[in-house]
Structure 1
Amino acid sequence: MFDSLKRLIRKWRASRDGGHQLDALLAIADQTAPYAERSEWLIELAHWIRRGRAVQPGVTEAANSAAESAAPPSKNPAHTRIRYLLHVLDRNPAWKANVAGILRALLRESDSLSLLCDAGMPVHSGFFGAVFERVEASLIPPAPNRRDLTAIVTLMFGSGLDAEWIDTLPADLLARIHALFGFASAEDAARNSTPFSLDLLAALHNLTCQISSTGLSQTVRSRLGGAAASDALADDTSDVRVAMEKQPFYRLTRAMLALEAAHDAYAAGGPQEPLLREVNYLRLLLDECRVATDNVFAHLYRNGVSVDIVFQVERMRMRIERAEHLLDAWLARDDLRAVARLSAELVRANQASQSVAHLARSNFSLLARKVVEYSADTGEHYIARDRAEYLKMMRMAAGGGLVTVVTVCVKFAITGAHLHAMLEGLLAGINYSASFLLMHFLHFSLATKQPAMTAPTLARELDDVGTPAGVDSFVSSVTALMRTQAAAVLGNVLLVFPVSLGVDLLWHALFHTDLISADKALATLQSFSLVGPTPFYAALTGVLLWSSSLLAGWADNWFILHRVADALAYNRRLRMTLGAAGAERLARFCRTNVAGVAGNITLGLMLGLVPAILTAFAFKFEVRHVTLSAGSIGVALGVLGKDALRLPALWWAVAGVGSMAILNVAVSFALAFYMAAKSRDLRRSAVRSLRGAIWQRLRRRPLELVWPAKVEPQGR
């Protein structure tokens, strides 16, 4: 039988005519066939429905004409095909009996809880386990002989448009489909089957147990209240028990049992009021559970984000929403429109459960917001909003340029040793990291590090752009950022270039030799030329600058999430060695500097090692950093002397450094701002209006780009 069914399906697929295809498919429908064959038949029927081509007249041309004349106009091809299918079945009672029997057997013999409870819900308790699960599911689709509705729905509905046509089924089609399920012979109608409403109730029971279990777990329970509430509860164990009993997750399972008892009493002829009262109470508890999950997210946002914790809480929120949908469908089980909405929702959820991208989008938004928040806090210090801050930024940038002079000299010493590429990259990375750390602790500034830090600061102000005052504040911050970036770049370059030139001249006067050879100096100028790969290298360097800010935010989040500061402050050995006050000072120092140290070390190592790795395994890449390159030009000019001013290579190198300044800043800022804006879910229309407001401000006050406006004292 199975081989003959396969041959008939192949013959049906080979047909190009929609009517002939349906006739051939309906002719082989057999409600007595094995489960796998009936499942495969349903899959082929679903593929025919969603194929989308117009149905051509065939053997059942009269039925097709009747369908066209009786049907109201429909824009969805799937609706037209379903209407045609029902007309064909009305004219062929034997086919209709087999199709109805297959549909009823599907609900009777399959596990519906797998679809009602688990569709769209990851099975694994961790994020990375869920990623592996979805990749595995995409590579190995379910077999049609699995007796659960999730597998059948996955194989029947694989397109994102399926949920749309199910959700928009006309009322007359819903009524006819419902009647098709009830069409049966006397023998089949006599079979005992569980009503689908009881499956909904069982699925609701299952979901409430899962929600309660997750909500009462230590991971979630410890994050339901604030720190003050936790300290209060720690004073009295009876308060802990009372607080536990007040949690909606604790009362949810009891409410579900009370609902089932009220339903049994109502089914036995009792009054309806107790049932409605229990339904309303369960709805109230589900709303309270939703509020509690929001509190957990707020706690994570303040105290560090873990991907796995976010994943578990997000899965609990999805289960709460599913429970509410099932409760609505159970109450309106006689409403066919409610059943269609639930079916479409299950199809959407099942399709989303197959997508790794959907999982990442739904779980990484909070993590991205927390990671960029460190940069927002740090970036506020890098935006000069008045003249005093502007001059302070110039001094910080000048200090950063002075430190970079030493970095450039050490870099030339490392490259002059002609070491292995990987070892040279490691030493260069250590050199960069040491310089960046020195700038960090001396509170100096490196211009190209600022954009990745300041973009999230602007993104934080996006929360208030719904008001005119918020838009004006955002535009003022953008103007201040542009002005500050220009000042920082000029402060770095205007100091690193002449000091590097002076260092080489001094070295030559003292030791009668230069820091580098003349050939090396000329090659350095040529490598920085605007005509060549310099712009591409500068853009990639901007990516590295942004990556360092991302890693700095991750380190800050990890430090807070694991409460490392508390562990240091209360460490027994540290308190014995440094004293309680000393241990607390060490904890505050680490908390203040952990992100800056991590970001500077990773940036330095990436600037040294990433070019060596990419050159060895992918393509040639060299770091093009505006401050380092300006210092290198200063050394090269000192070696070549005044004759270098007549070399075109020098001026092409100067132009190349200009492109580095633009691309280092623009790329790192664009990436950081894109990530920060994504964490705020900003719409494109809002972005366009903000862009227009920025251009309008620049046209009215162009001088603000180079010098801050004078701030009038308050009270005048």
Structure 2
Amino acid sequence: MSQPDLTPFAGCADFQSALQLLVQHLRSNAEQAGEALRDFLDALQEQPEINEHVASLFHQWLQHSRLATGFVQTGIYSRQDFGRELRRRLYDRINPPPRQPDVLEDVLQTVLRPSDLDWLNSIAPRLWLRLYEQLGSAQQREASQHYVRDQLLRAAEMLALWVAGEDLNPDLIRLNPRLLEVDSAFLSLQREVQSLVEAERAGRELPDTAQLDVMLDQSREQVAYLRRLGNQSGASLSTAHLLERLGQSLDRLEGILTMLTSERSERSARAWLVQLGQIINSGLEQRSIREFVRNSAGMLSKSISSSKSEHGEHYITTTGQEYWHMLRSAAGAGVLIALMALLKIEIGRWQLAPLWSTLLISLNYGIGFVIVHMLGFTIATKQPAMTAASIAESVQQGQNSRNLPKHLAELLISVHRSQSVAVLGNVCLAMFVAAGVAWLYQRHAGQALLTADEVAYQLKALKPVPALWYAAIAALWLFCAGIISGYYDNRADYVRLRERLAAHPALRWLGPARQQRFANYLHEHFGALHGNFYFGVLLGVTPYIGHLLHLPLDIRHIAFSSANLSYAASSAELGATVFALGLLYVLLIGMVNLWLSFFLALRVALRARDTEIPSLGKLLQALFKQLRASPLALLWPPAAPADAPRKQPPDSGH
């Protein structure tokens, strides 16, 4: 590699221009960036006039830059809440703010691109140290180091004050009221940092940093504890954003303190490089709205996933008692589904305007699903989104266990068995009740329930193309309903809905006992009631959206499709072949409903817990092994050991 031409550096009027030239040189040799920097240093050493000019620009910028602001702000979320911060980033993306050459963050964002991180990280630290040592005289470096040290003290002081100030944040006090009663680690950390800053400014010997390290560790433990409380008792995006900012502030404060207290210059220089690298990385990522939302929403996603996991356990049957309870629960839902399908057909006969028809159909679905839930019945397709969260929790808990594939295989078999019996209950009772309603109508009215055109429409609606595409849309709404349920369960915990309703003055007429029962019920079922209603609304509005956009949008749901098939078969002579094909199409619709929503929910649940299934091959091997040993386990629960404790049947109302 030939030595670079340094002539353009001689014409640079400020440090940012010189840095831009250096970055362009390294970027053009990205695959050999380390060697390119070494050649640049060699060339700079051979041309002392240019070396002196670049050094002068560098130290002049360094001694007049606002480094404290850069260390406190770059890569650390602002003290605004999540919504304001998101709006600010969106506005800055559309209309970028003016760059200031004395602000570290602005210089980095002007000169560097996110794609530069790879070659920047590939350069050995010793080359950056050599670059610093080669720029300027010992006197220049000493003056810069004195200024930088003062800026670091200011940054440490501000960060410690920020961390201590969050001790009275209402969101954190809601999670842990004891913050008001005890001297927290945040306050103790601030006092230790203040002592160090005062000693440095007074020229005294720095105090022992052992206690400072202890307070940093305790502050981290407190943030981790608050995160766990948020996962258990409900979190908001603002709380997640706040805890993420606290963690970032503690990380930055630790790095600054390492630079300030390192006795050896090599360790201090290395700490400098580490912190500068982190600032560059986080400063470039700070432009990313996607990363900001993903990081801030992490705890909220985990809290929602945890809520779904708790309810998901109720959808998995492992004993004969639970199996029969699930069948009865699903059968009850099948009765109501047949009536909901009939009402939907009747609404279609009224020839209303599309908007009014959509409103009534959405209410039919939404209110119907809520009634199904309130009666404690189970809709088969509501299972996957819930059970996926349970599987993700099992993966996280047993991530390092050798028995994880076996345990997951058992869980998947139980999930399949539970879904199968729920489908059986939904479909059989929906078809049986639909046939009974059609027979009663024909007996009393003297004519078939459906006209010939309506029968043809119902049969056409079952054909795989485009019915399976419509089934996939329904699966997407099933997945969304699970997210909605988890969100509102988390919301109920976050706002302490139970306590609010139990003390609500407008409900006192119920009496203390009934008011408490009402508060308990609404708190425990808050997510399920919302999820069921919104699921119905999503099913109802999809065809209308397709109508407005002139797109092929509709939904197919296994339970309603089975009821519609039964209404059609009871209103006309279909023949065994046509009926069998229709039933096959219904089952295909059900497979798409169930498994697509399951895999979508599983993917999100695994990402929320920051985990993944370690080995798909081992999982499949364990699954086939168990199926060979007990193939009937797919459809029937294995016999429990004689000494196994009896479990309560699942509360299928979730």
- TM-score w.r.t. the length of structure 2 is 0.92
Any conservation in 2 of the 1:167–1:343 contact (CA below 8 Å)? no
Give the 5 Å matches for 1:245-324. Answer: 246-264=183-201, 267=203, 272=205, 275-277=206-208, 279-324=209-254
Which residue does 1:205 correspond to in 2?
Answer: 157
Larger Rg: 1
Within 5 Å, which residues of 2 pair with 1:324-473? 324-332=254-262, 334-335=265-266, 336-465=269-398, 466-468=400-402, 471-473=405-407
Counting only pairs closer than 5 Å after superposition, residues 531-546 of structure 1 correspond to structure 2 as 532-546=465-479
Kindly indicate whether residue 454 of structure 2 is the aligned counterpart of residue 520 of structure 1.
Answer: yes
Residue 703 of structure 1 corresponds to which residue in structure 2?
Answer: 632
Task: Name the SS of the counterpart of 2:265 in structure 1.
Answer: coil
User: What amino acid is aligned across from residue 583 of structure 2 in structure 1?
Assistant: V
1:396/1:352 CA distance change after superposition, 3 Å: same
The residue that corresponds to 1:158 in the other structure is: 113
What is the Cα deviation at residue 146 of structure 1?
3.7
Corresponding residue for residue 9 of structure 2: 26
- Tell me the TM-score normalized by structure 1: 0.84
* Corresponding letter in the other structure for 1:179: E
User: How far off its partner does 1:161 sit?
Assistant: 4.3
Alignment of 1:622-701 (within 5 A): 622-641=554-573, 644-645=574-575, 650-701=579-630
- Residue 130 of structure 2 corresponds to 176
1:579 aligns with 2:518: no
Counterpart residue identity of residue 319, structure 1: S
Aligned equivalents of 2:271 and 2:34: distance in 1?
A: 18
Which consecutive unaligned segments of at least 5 residues does structure 1 have? 1-16, 54-75, 231-239
Per-residue displacement from partner, 1:3-38 (whole Å, max 9, x unpaired)? xxxxxxxxxxxxxx9867x33422323xxx3xxx54
Summarize the alignment of residues 111-150 of structure 1 with structure 2, pairs less than 5 Å apart.
111-141=66-96, 143-150=98-105
User: Quick one: structure 1 residues 192 and 298, their matched pair in 2 at CA, closer, same or farther if it must change by over 3 Å?
Assistant: closer
Task: For 2:321 and 2:644, locate their aligned partners in 1 and report how far apart those are by CA, in whole Å.
Answer: 20
Aligned counterparts, 1:458-607, within 5 A: 458-465=391-398, 466-468=400-402, 471-530=405-464, 532-575=465-508, 577-607=509-539
Identity percentage of aligned residues: 24
Report the Cα distance in structure 1 between the residues aligned to 2:45 and 2:631, rounded to whole angstroms. 76
User: What residue is the counterpart of 2:652 in the other structure?
Assistant: none
Superposition pairs of residues 25-64 of structure 1, within 5 angstroms? 25-29=8-12, 33=13, 37-52=14-29
Cα deviation 1:209-238 (Å, max 9, x = unaligned): 11111233333244335xxx58xxxxxxxx
Distance in 2 (alpha carbons) for counterparts of 1:684 and 1:478: 13
Q: Is contact 1:430–1:604 with CA below 8 Å preserved after alignment?
A: yes
Kept in 1: contact 2:163–2:186 (CA 8 A): yes
* CA–CA distance in structure 2, aligned partners of residues 647 and 423 of structure 1: 38
Partners of 2:357 and 2:379 lie apart in 1 by 23
Aligned partner (choices 38, 46, 51) of residue 96 of structure 1? 51
Q: Deviations over 1:553-575 (max 9, x none)?
A: 11111122111221111123423
- Counterpart CA distance in 2 for 1:609 and 1:108 is 62
Moved more, 328-337 or 362-371: 328-337
Mapped partners of 2:98, 2:498: distance in 1: 52
CA distance in 2, matches of 1:422, 1:312: 43
* CA displacement, residues 108-165 of structure 1 (integer Å, 9 cap, x when unaligned): 1211112211111122521122222333333445545442111101122223543763
CA separation in 2, counterparts of 1:192 and 1:469? Answer: 58
**Residue 58 of structure 1 aligns with which residue?**
none
Structure 1 residues 468 and 81 mapped into 2: Cα distance closer, same or farther (>3 Å)? Answer: closer
Preserved contact between residue 406 and residue 623 of structure 2 (Cα < 8 Å): no
Q: Which residue of 1 aligns with 2:651?
A: none
Which range moved further: 141-150 or 401-410? 141-150
Q: Any conservation in 2 of the 1:483–1:706 contact (CA below 8 Å)? A: yes
SS state at 1:182 partner: coil
* Deviation per residue, 1:196-215 (Å, 9 max, x gap): 22222221112111111123
Q: Secondary structure of 1:411's match?
A: helix
| Cα 1:672/1:192, change in 2 over 3 Å | closer
Q: Is the 8 A contact 2:33 2:122 kept in 1?
A: no
Taking a change above 3 Å as real, the CA distance of residues 580 and 566 of structure 1, as seen in their structure-2 partners, is: same
Measure, in 2, the Cα distance between the counterparts of 1:513 and 1:468. Answer: 64
Change (3 A) 1:478 1:136: same
Indicate the larger mover: 334-343 or 112-121. 334-343
How far residue 637 of structure 1 moved from its aligned partner, in angstroms, is 1.3
Q: Which runs of 4+ in 1 moved over 6 A?
A: 188-193
Q: Is 1:613 aligned with 2:545?
A: yes
1:468: Cα distance to partner?
4.6
Partner Cα separation in structure 2 for residue 477 and residue 218 of structure 1: 40
User: 2:155 is aligned with what amino acid?
Assistant: A
C-alpha separation in 2, matches of 1:41 and 1:142? 23
Contact kept in structure 1, 2:330 and 2:425, CA below 8 Å: yes
Aligned to 1:50, what secondary structure does the other structure show? helix
Q: Can you list the C-alpha shifts for 1:28-86, whole angstroms capped at 9, x where unaligned?
A: 23xxx3xxx54234223222222226xxxxxxxxxxxxxxxxxxxxxx62222211112
1:153 partner amino acid: L
Alignment partners' CA distance in 2, 1:192 and 1:702: 75
Post-superposition offset of 1:482: 0.5
By relative contact order (CA 8 Å, sep 6+), the higher-ranking structure is 2
CA distance in 2, matches of 1:166, 1:470: 36
Alpha-carbon distance change, 517 to 467 in structure 1, aligned in 2, over 3 angstroms: same
